[in-house]
A and B are shown apart, each in its own frame.
Chain A
């Protein structure tokens, strides 16, 4: 297909829903248009009918970014909210344009300045592709680390403000009045003196050609001036989601498109040795087969996945049937095939006994232990865990001589663009990544090598759009995992039961993200002598930033141990935590105490409970070791366990800080509710074990997902005000459920369990 034909069929296709259904902004970015006539700036287009298009540079994966990013622009633009239509920003344009200079300087003095932009972080273009490009048009297009609001707020507010100011300037020119005499609200500009009004739609075209004389002088509204931000807004894509109308990557259909089913070697680092396509080429619909190598680790953030083979057919079920019948042999590295859960866990335990890398060494731990009245020691283990988003990996790719088009739901489209360029040899300026909504994400690297595999397969079929789709089992191969971990904590208590020495060891594989989370910098809970070390070994399973990242395991270790210490000291676990936080000099200690107090009070902490029911409290924080941005919450979980061992999370009481302000409190509540189920799954059900180097639990029969019957009947969420900008809350809240269920099991059954998931244990008890 030449470029002219492609443009025609994309245009025809986009105009004919049903035959070719595509979401949102695809035609524009597919044809590479850089600007619309009525574009005010790269984030805002206003049509004559007052519709406001807001470009979203992050991926909507259920966290509500489609709405919260739009709110940050609309707050400053002062447009009518019901007229707002989000649209994905062009990933291609981001490769060709630089960010406006006025978006590059963050104002203010950081985390504790309400007037400023907070502390956004942007990565660098590096050898593994793109981890955020400091001066590209949309800069960081990644969606990770609960950072969309944190990193985007100041420049999305700026973009909205710049748009508003230019609309006012254009109106002032049209009316020939000084701009200072104008004001705007809900898309209407008013000249107070004359009483004249006009809508944004009326003046948008003129505003598009009216530059702002001093854009660098534009300031953003501090939280006390917000009128839209901070209010609960329903998510703008919900009407389509309840009607089955959202087009996810899996729903992309194109004229002439063929489907690819894939088998990658189930042992990471392995690849296809041989396959016999002749045995299946006569099966219905079958077109071709192609082997693909292990994707270049430089394109997959250093992770080594697998090579494999794809069968291409008219329909996906035909490709899958042929693939399942096709004889094939694997080339499997014997050292990888020798791994299993037991020997990997032993390797971690062995590493933990080695010296390791000392991250913190404050005071004299050995001296503290020598002086202690009592020593408490515990070892916790956590398994590999997959994200298992609901939409299996897929991408649709069309490669021609000098251009690549990709339709995909991905958390890092700039990296997809980079991969497409490297694999095909076609310049990034000619790669068009058309972002779709994701059927779940749960981690920046969650998409594994889905883009790279699809690009390699399509590159071998130039001119034909190829839609690669993984089976669920394949999705468990093409992903990175939360790392397996072990941690040993040892405390020396004084005569009052408070720790005077604490040693924490964590062992994980060397490339585990967030290896040192929850213990880095300080122990959080006060202890005068503290040593923290990490201990590495090497495994073949690719690990990545699964929801919760390092805090998921780290807070399980830390909060479980705090419960053990409190019980050992004969003290109330809430009061014990409160006292130990109060003794610290941590900058956010008052906020942590407030979180504990509010959660305890909400839960009726201390009031009697029926036999077989227990409460447990825990602190959740990211960033509390310093005075930079942080997010702090506390939860009390009320848990019952029947004598037959059935665990029921009855009630969750959540105290969560607002910082200077939450952008969309409704989305925050939904994210908290979702993470309660997420970490309940981690605590009770989920684990990925390894046998002969392969992931064992690779579909939802063995990788169990909690259903509605396990959702807690009561969730209470209370927000409290704090005086700093938040670090984000979309991925590491509700980690407390893990330690809390462990403690409820102890309180009710007397069993102290230290390895997840608890659902694999005998939890029966006798009254």
Chain B
């Protein structure tokens, strides 16, 4: 069965069952491997992408739920890796192995879109991605820095 989905501003025609988890459509049909598989049960958040700006765990969402909507993956955050959130992440050298970081960035970006100046408790409540290397300390600092950069550059407006 074929259907169309729009990812990072580009339309893709996908030949897959519509119940296929969005994660696998993104990774294996469209070839966007920046979004990761971690647990398959919506726990770890390595597969986090945006549907219409909202962070979702794509391993638990059927591709059909994304039809007609705008999907953003890590590859769509910026053309050159220099979105303020990526600049902030680089400034703190935040990733270690990096595997969970695409999802971590997507969750944080969704938070920043809703709270331009998130408090620590906003971060605690909304960035619920798991990192096994323990990068949280730098991730938190990077989120605060990204908020400042985004405000300065007017990215959220």
- Bound together, the chains give a CA A678 to CA B105 distance in angstroms of 21
Please state if A673 and B99 are interface contacts (CB–CB under 8 Å).
Answer: no
Please state if B97 and A439 are interface contacts (CB–CB under 8 Å).
Answer: yes
Please tell me if A532 contacts chain B, counting CB pairs below 8 Å: no
> A392 contacts which chain B residues (CB < 8 A)?
37-38
Choose one: B44, B97, B138; the contact of A438 (CB below 8 Å). Answer: B97
Closest to B38 in A: A390
Please tell me if A28 contacts chain B, counting CB pairs below 8 Å: no
Choose one: B40, B90, B96; the contact of A62 (CB below 8 Å). Answer: B96
Please tell me if A514 contacts chain B, counting CB pairs below 8 Å: no
Please tell me if A214 contacts chain B, counting CB pairs below 8 Å: no
Please state if B128 and A439 are interface contacts (CB–CB under 8 Å).
Answer: no
Number of interface residues of B (CB under 8 A): 59
Please state if A61 and B97 are interface contacts (CB–CB under 8 Å).
Answer: yes
Instruction: Scan residues 663-704 of chain A and give those whose CB is less than 8 A from a CB of chain B.
Output: 666, 670, 673-678, 699-701
Please tell me if A245 contacts chain B, counting CB pairs below 8 Å: yes
Please tell me if A175 contacts chain B, counting CB pairs below 8 Å: no
A235-B93, A440-B99 known; A701 vs B41 contact (CB < 8 Å):
yes
Choose one: A62, A63, A316, A439; the contact of B28 (CB below 8 Å). Answer: A316
Please state if A711 and B41 are interface contacts (CB–CB under 8 Å).
Answer: no
> A237 contacts which chain B residues (CB < 8 A)?
98
Please state if A317 and B21 are interface contacts (CB–CB under 8 Å).
Answer: yes
Please tell me if B132 contacts chain A, counting CB pairs below 8 Å: yes
Please tell me if B139 contacts chain A, counting CB pairs below 8 Å: yes
Do most interface residues of chain B lie in helix, strand or loop, or is the interface mixed?
loop
- Bound together, the chains give a CA A670 to CA B94 distance in angstroms of 8
Of A93-101, A143-151, A247-255, A375-383, which stretch is located at the interface? Answer: A247-255
Q: What does the 1/0 interface line of B10-27 toward A look like (CB < 8 Å)? A: 000000110011001000
> A389 contacts which chain B residues (CB < 8 A)?
97, 99, 132
CB distance from A19 to the nearest CB of B (A): 8
- Bound together, the chains give a CA A713 to CA B46 distance in angstroms of 23
Please state if B34 and A673 are interface contacts (CB–CB under 8 Å).
Answer: no
CB distance from B104 to the nearest CB of A (A): 9
- Bound together, the chains give a CA A241 to CA B74 distance in angstroms of 10
Please state if A242 and B99 are interface contacts (CB–CB under 8 Å).
Answer: no
A243-B75, A251-B33, A315-B28 known; A715 vs B89 contact (CB < 8 Å):
no
Please state if A707 and B98 are interface contacts (CB–CB under 8 Å).
Answer: no
Closest to B23 in A: A317
Please state if A715 and B137 are interface contacts (CB–CB under 8 Å).
Answer: yes
Instruction: Scan residues 115-145 of chain B and give those whose CB is less than 8 A from a CB of chain A.
Output: 120, 123-125, 127-140
Instruction: Scan residues 367-396 of chain A and give those whose CB is less than 8 A from a CB of chain B.
Output: 388-392
Closest to B91 in A: A234
- Bound together, the chains give a CA A416 to CA B3 distance in angstroms of 41
> B50 contacts which chain A residues (CB < 8 A)?
none
> A713 contacts which chain B residues (CB < 8 A)?
120
A18-B31, A238-B90 known; A250 vs B132 contact (CB < 8 Å):
no
> A705 contacts which chain B residues (CB < 8 A)?
44, 130-132
Please state if A242 and B86 are interface contacts (CB–CB under 8 Å).
Answer: yes
Please state if A701 and B43 are interface contacts (CB–CB under 8 Å).
Answer: yes
- Bound together, the chains give a CA A708 to CA B124 distance in angstroms of 6
Please state if A242 and B90 are interface contacts (CB–CB under 8 Å).
Answer: yes
Closest to B35 in A: A244
Please state if B136 and A677 are interface contacts (CB–CB under 8 Å).
Answer: yes
Please tell me if A176 contacts chain B, counting CB pairs below 8 Å: no
Please state if B89 and A242 are interface contacts (CB–CB under 8 Å).
Answer: yes
A670-B138, A673-B134, A700-B130 known; A390 vs B44 contact (CB < 8 Å):
yes
Task: Choose among A469, A678, A700 the residue with the greatest number of B CB atoms under 10 Å from its CB.
Answer: A700
CB distance from B45 to the nearest CB of A (A): 9
Choose one: A242, A472, A673; the contact of B137 (CB below 8 Å). Answer: A673
Please state if B135 and A674 are interface contacts (CB–CB under 8 Å).
Answer: yes
Task: Choose among B41, B77, B125, B131 the residue with the greatest number of A CB atoms under 10 Å from its CB.
Answer: B131
- Bound together, the chains give a CA A250 to CA B23 distance in angstroms of 13
- Bound together, the chains give a CA A666 to CA B95 distance in angstroms of 12
> A248 contacts which chain B residues (CB < 8 A)?
36, 99
- Bound together, the chains give a CA A62 to CA B77 distance in angstroms of 23
Please state if B44 and A675 are interface contacts (CB–CB under 8 Å).
Answer: no
- Bound together, the chains give a CA A63 to CA B89 distance in angstroms of 17
> A701 contacts which chain B residues (CB < 8 A)?
41, 43
CB distance from A43 to the nearest CB of B (A): 24
Q: What does the 1/0 interface line of A205-247 toward B look like (CB < 8 Å)? A: 0000000000000000000000000000011011111111111
Please state if A674 and B124 are interface contacts (CB–CB under 8 Å).
Answer: no
Please state if B81 and A242 are interface contacts (CB–CB under 8 Å).
Answer: yes
> A469 contacts which chain B residues (CB < 8 A)?
37
Please state if B132 and A708 are interface contacts (CB–CB under 8 Å).
Answer: no
Please state if A708 and B136 are interface contacts (CB–CB under 8 Å).
Answer: yes
Please state if B99 and A472 are interface contacts (CB–CB under 8 Å).
Answer: no
Choose one: B41, B120, B138; the contact of A673 (CB below 8 Å). Answer: B138
> B58 contacts which chain A residues (CB < 8 A)?
none
Please tell me if A437 contacts chain B, counting CB pairs below 8 Å: yes
> A674 contacts which chain B residues (CB < 8 A)?
96, 133-135
- Bound together, the chains give a CA A749 to CA B131 distance in angstroms of 30
- Bound together, the chains give a CA A715 to CA B140 distance in angstroms of 13
Please state if B41 and A472 are interface contacts (CB–CB under 8 Å).
Answer: yes
Please tell me if B55 contacts chain A, counting CB pairs below 8 Å: no
> B43 contacts which chain A residues (CB < 8 A)?
699-701
- Bound together, the chains give a CA A437 to CA B29 distance in angstroms of 23
Task: Please provide the 3 A-B residue pairs with the shortest distance between their CB atoms, ordered closest to farther.
Answer: A244-B34, A439-B99, A62-B97
Can you report 13 A-B residue pairs in the complex whose CB atoms are below 8 A from each other? A62-B97, A238-B94, A244-B34, A317-B24, A388-B132, A438-B97, A439-B100, A440-B133, A471-B40, A673-B134, A700-B38, A701-B41, A707-B136
Residues of A within 8 A of B (CB): 18-19, 21, 60-64, 234-235, 237-248, 250-251, 253, 284, 315-317, 388-392, 437-442, 469, 471-472, 666, 670, 673-678, 699-701, 705, 707-709, 711-713, 715
